[in-house]
Amino acid sequence: MRGWNFSAGPAAIPQEVIKEVQEELLEYNGSGASIIEIGHRTDIYSQVAEESKNDLIEILNIPNSHEVLFLQGGATHQFSMIPLNFRNMGNNADYVVSGTWSKKAADEASKLIDVNISASSENMSFSVFPKCSDWDISKHSSYVHYCPNETIQGIAMHEIPKIDKPLMADMTSVILSQPLDVSKFDLIYAGAQKNIGPAGLTIVIISKELMEKGDSSLPKILRYSEHSKANSMLNTPPTFSWYFAGKVFKWIKRSGGLDHFEALNKKKAENLYDFIDSTDFYVNNLQKSQRSLMNVTFNLKNDDLNSSFLDESKANSLLNLKGHALVGGMRASIYNAMPEEGVTQLIQFMSEFESKYG
């Protein structure tokens, strides 16, 4: 039986989408073969790929000034692809370090480009998100990179920074959770396995103007503009994940689009944080305005109860609530695919657990 899956990633996918894929997995649409057995340059697959891209453009309202790429290598590959492409545009690059993922991005970039840490909350164990007005942006930097939703710490920046530089964002754990003004960014990237679909696919949304400025001496596979020219089929793309993501995009559309998910996601997060705040048994010390709506981290006041909490939640079909090893405690990831009912069940369990042990 499927449980309520709070995994941070690979994360829950809507059951109705998995069923749809299951139903057509043996033979796709009169092709006589499975979608995973068809050449990526066939008419039938090209149509799937294009529709998936167009649906994403529609959902996110991506302006014509931006290209959408379906790549591989995960968000982690973007940590190096970004500096490789754009290090020629300035003397260095600005990185805001607000949690584990943005720190990794900065560390990887520093092997390729001079990195200026514009702001960092590392010495406060990432318990606050550095305020945009305090970011120290270098005069001659190529770009500014930040991560608006730190998946591991559960801390987020909800406003879009106003920066007079190419702005790049790791949106792996927050993309498609709400409407987004894509025009404010020069590059957005996201590994698919949090809020888009199966692992293996990385979405990059990039300003076409910027893309053309990328270092032309790089091998093709590392250049955004080459991927764009080849319609994201420079080599064999992750065909199954691309197709699958298309199914999720259709599900988002028929569910009411990103306005619907924004309202739903706010409600789910609010319910859970309100409950956590209502008791001393569970703790989340982050400022309310900086709490992630996707990854709700919390601790049990009494750490000794952690393993009982995990065992008993699992026995109640509430899965994968263990926090990241770096921070400990608990984490409930509640991306689009988590229905309100799952959060209600979690709160009920937490309340009962407290009554039993509190």
| Residue pair 337/173 in contact by the 8 Å Cβ criterion | no
CB of 104 to ligand PLP, least distance (A): 7
- Annotated active-site residue 170? The verdict is yes
CA distance to 76, 92, 112, 159, per residue, from 109 (Å): 11, 10, 5, 24
Q: Is the CB of 168 or the CB of 300 nearer to ligand PLP?
A: 168
108 binds ligand PLP (CB under 6 A): no
Binder among 60, 82, 147, 286 for ligand PLP (CB under 6 A): 147
Q: Residue 9: what are its φ and ψ, rounded to 5°?
A: 155, 140
CB of 112 to ligand PLP, least distance (A): 17
CB of 285 to ligand PLP, least distance (A): 21
Strand spans (E) along 192-294? 202-207, 282-283
Per DSSP, the three-state class of 1 is coil
- Annotated active-site residue 136? The verdict is no
Looking only at the bridges linking them, the beta strands covering 92-97 and 115-120 are parallel
CB of 76 to ligand PLP, least distance (A): 3
CA distance to 24, 268, 321, per residue, from 16 (Å): 13, 20, 23
| Residue pair 88/76 in contact by the 8 Å Cβ criterion | no
CB of 209 to ligand PLP, least distance (A): 25
Q: What is the largest CA-CA distance in the chain?
A: 64
Q: Considering 55, 101, 165, 242, which one is annotated as catalytic?
A: 101
Write the binding mask 157 to 196 for ligand PLP: x where contact by CB under 6 A, - elsewhere: -------------x-xx-----------------x--x--
Alpha-carbon distance of 204 to 190, in angstroms, equals: 7
Alpha-carbon distance of 21 to 51, in angstroms, equals: 16
From the list 33-41, 52-60, 71-79, 300-308, the region that binds ligand PLP by CB under 6 A is: 71-79
Which residue is associated with the tokens 């492409």?
85
Q: Is the CB of 201 or the CB of 350 nearer to ligand PLP?
A: 201
| Residue pair 279/196 in contact by the 8 Å Cβ criterion | no
Q: Considering 194, 247, 268, 322, which one is annotated as catalytic?
A: 194
| Residue pair 170/105 in contact by the 8 Å Cβ criterion | yes
Q: Is the CB of 85 or the CB of 151 nearer to ligand PLP?
A: 151
Q: Is the CB of 38 or the CB of 204 nearer to ligand PLP?
A: 204
Q: Considering 94, 170, 268, 322, which one is annotated as catalytic?
A: 170
Q: Is the CB of 102 or the CB of 141 nearer to ligand PLP?
A: 102
CB of 125 to ligand PLP, least distance (A): 18
Binder among 12, 55, 74, 203 for ligand PLP (CB under 6 A): 74
Q: How many Cβ atoms sit within 10 Å of the Cβ of residue 25?
A: 12
- Annotated active-site residue 266? The verdict is no
Which residue is associated with the tokens 């990241």?
324
Q: Is the CB of 17 or the CB of 196 nearer to ligand PLP?
A: 196
Among 62, 170, 56, CA closest to 106: 170
Active site residues: 101, 170, 194
Q: Which residues here bind ligand PLP, judged by CB under 6 A?
A: 9, 74-76, 101, 147, 151, 170, 172-173, 191, 194
